[in-house]
Structure 1
Amino acid sequence: MMTEACLVLASGSRWRRRMLDDAGIDCEAVSPTVDEDGLRGADPVATARLRAMAKAEEVAARRPGRLVVGADQVLWMPGQGEAIGKPADPDDWLERLRRFRGRRHQLTTAVALVGPEPGRRESFEVTTGVRMRADVTDDELLAYIAHGEARGCAGGY
């Protein structure tokens, strides 16, 4: 007899699934059908929080009575107030990474929990400041892009 995982991960991200697996947390991963691009808050932190909750709520509607966790990451430059999304293609990826060289930027991670009781919702977010080395060469950036590990990640890394 198969038992249900205690946790439902509202994500198709292999990185998020791997983090839970590495921590020994059994989960069922369900890809949410949320249009992330259509969800924007008043600022990048609010955008991350809004998207994380939308993902968790959408999957919770398909898995009633289960604890569902959704997450979102938004990368942004202080003073610009706008989220920097996932790169569209390798050329866009390279341009984004070049912009980060020697500059400080912020990465906000928001996590939302929904259920298992009806109406139960919790969320939190953490923002981390990151500075890319100024001496990273284009060859190093191109090798990073060619590796492909961060394809589909906020900001391209």
Structure 2
Amino acid sequence: MSSSLPLVLASTSPYRRALLEKLGLDFLTDSPRIDESRRPNEPPQVLVLRLAEAKARAVAERHPNALIIGSDQVACIDEEILGKPGDRTRAIAQLERASGRCVLFQTGLCLLDARTGQAHTLVEPFHVHFRALSRRRIEGYLDREQPYDCAGSFKSEGLGIALFERLEGEDPNTLVGLPLIRLIPLLEAAGIHPLGD
């Protein structure tokens, strides 16, 4: 892998784009446009690994001489995946379910060299311990932030932080959708050094 290769984020998520921008690197974004359906009995960890790599490979078809970053994330309670709620009713149900409990976020990461097809993949866990939340507080939060496009129905980078008792994980960026601390060594192995050579 060479640092002269373009870097492409296989995502149109504004959250992932903002995270990658923190590294000060030049990169493009491209939508992977893949089927993100879960396979029957597929464990969450397997799902996010598969989708992170599938996203990278889909984008690699349009960027055959680039390094591609793919990422996928799910939130789980007892192995049940909480998807993006999409609307207020589902968001209320998700937050009521999470109230007083621990939600495990699994984030799959892939760095793919599109020239060779070589992929480096990993899964980064992150635990979110929720406070006991009343219906009134849940509704008040949703009225203010409307996180209907976010797995778990919150934005930890915003007011969502008030929903938590504590966070457990190696990298807070993981919770937003892109584990930068784990990505940096992969980029460095590919010849891309955010802090310079």
Same fold (TM over 0.5): yes
Q: Name the residue aligned to 1:150.
A: 147
Residue ranges of structure 2 left out of the alignment (5+ in a row): 155-197
Deviation at 1:32, TM superposition (A): 1.2
Deviation at 1:38, TM superposition (A): 4.9
Q: Name the residue aligned to 1:118.
A: 116
Count of residue pairs the alignment pairs up: 151
Residues 82-117 of structure 1: CA distance to partner in whole angstroms, max 9, x if unpaired? Answer: 322111311111110110000112001110111143
Alignment of 1:8-157 (within 5 A): 8-38=8-38, 42-78=42-78, 81-134=79-132, 136-148=133-145, 150-157=147-154
Q: Quote the Cα distance in structure 2 between the aligned partners of 1:92 and 1:85.
A: 10
Residue ranges of structure 1 left out of the alignment (5+ in a row): none
TM-score (norm 1): 0.86
Q: Quote the Cα distance in structure 1 between the aligned partners of 2:63 and 2:46.
A: 25
Distance 1:40 1:130, change over 3 A: farther
Deviation at 1:156, TM superposition (A): 1.7
Q: Quote the Cα distance in structure 1 between the aligned partners of 2:39 and 2:64.
A: 24
Residues 123-148 of structure 1: CA distance to partner in whole angstroms, max 9, x if unpaired? Answer: 011111211001x2323322332334
Question: What's the % identity of the aligned pairs?
Answer: 32
Q: Is the 8 A contact 1:43 1:82 kept in 2?
A: no
Q: Give, as a single letter, the amino acid of the residue that structure 2 aligns with 1:146.
A: D
The root-mean-square deviation of aligned C-alpha atoms, in Å, is 2.0
TM-score (norm 2): 0.70
Q: Is the 8 A contact 1:8 1:67 kept in 2?
A: yes
